[in-house]
Amino acid sequence: MMQTVNLFHVKTHLSKLVDQIASGEESEFIISRNGKPVARLVPIYHYKDVSRRIGIAEGEFTVPENIDGVNEEIAGLFYKGSGNDAPAA
């Protein structure tokens, strides 16, 4: 949830606010002056969860040579009973 902080608080606690942004504890702070929003403190980039990146299981599995051998059969199962013919390969 976004927090609004006054400029005096930001000047006093800037390091703590930056740490909260960097750690992901806070996504942004709205900085206000005299009760009016004037700026946002946001991260430059978001940290990504590397455990879900593409290629994480590289080398863990082998793809069989005949992986595409049953494509027509599988496509037929998707189109079965839909009134549409399976697309030609």
Domain with 61 in it: 50-79
**Cα dist from 80 to 13, 45, 57, 75, whole Å:** 64, 46, 33, 9
The pLDDT tens digits for 2-46 are 799 999 999 999 999 999 998 889 999 999 999 999 999 999 876
What pLDDT does residue 13 have?
Answer: 96
CATH at residue 19: 3.40.1620.10
**Are the beta carbons of 37 and 3 closer than 8 angstroms?**
no
Q: Are residues 31 and 56 located together in one domain of the fold? A: no
Coil, strand or helix: which one is 6? strand
What pLDDT does residue 45 have?
Answer: 73
pTM (whole model) above 0.95: no
Is residue 86 a part of any domain in this protein? no
Is residue 8 a part of any domain in this protein? yes
**Are the beta carbons of 5 and 26 closer than 8 angstroms?**
no
What is the residue type of 8? F
Distance CA 34, CA 25 (A): 26
